[in-house]
Amino acid sequence: MRQLLLSLTFLLLITTNSLVVAAEKAPATFLLKDTTGVTHKLTAYKGKWVLVNYWATWCPPCLEEVPDLVNLYDHRRKKDLMILGVVFDYKSTKEVADYVDDMLMSYPIVLGDDEVAAQIGTADVLPTTFIYNPQGELVKIKRGLITKQYIEKIIGVGK
């Protein structure tokens, strides 16, 4: 009986580990609608780096990183980069629209909710940025302030 239990435990561990490895290798995917009604699908950006940046209007580090994100997006969006901003913990869509306008945020903005978090991941801190490589694989989750230099170190300096 003891041998049977050990064998079953071993099989369970192997199966669990196999499932974890399979889940880690599964291609990432998401489908998000931005504030203008445009739908963004990760697979549509194959060949580009994709940054999904979680932020909030009340968050000082979020405010600080916006100029770098706008600069990167404006210079690289037609070449090798897509940025999607996902706003969480906001009071109203007008508050978000005013903030986006004031900050000259040129990249698409998605209103964050539980469905978005279920597709991409949760964030314990804001800002948090999810970085996907050109093959659509999540390669880095950066919690806290992100800079142009940090991003360029990961994705390469633009031409």
- Which domains are present in the chain? 28-155 (3.40.30.10)
Considering only 17-26, 42-51, 90-99, which range has the smallest mean pLDDT? 17-26
Average pLDDT for 28-57:
96
> Is the model more confident about 28 or about 65?
65
CA distances 96 to 1, 12, 39, Å, are: 63, 48, 18
Average pLDDT for 135-140:
96
Counting residues of the chain whose pLDDT is more than 70, the rounded percentage is 82
**Residues 74/148, Cβ–Cβ less than 8 Å:** no
Read off the tokens for 64: 């600080």
- With a cut of 80, say whether residue 87 has pLDDT above it: yes
Q: Is 45 exposed, middle or buried (0-12, 13-18, 19+ CB in 10 A)?
A: middle
- With a cut of 50, say whether residue 113 has pLDDT above it: yes
Closest to 50 (Cα-Cα) out of 133, 139, 121, 153: 133
Residue 7: its pLDDT value, please? 45
- With a cut of 80, say whether residue 5 has pLDDT above it: no
For the chain, the average pLDDT equals 87
- With a cut of 50, say whether residue 17 has pLDDT above it: no
**pLDDT tier for residue 159 given thresholds of 50, 70 and 90:** low
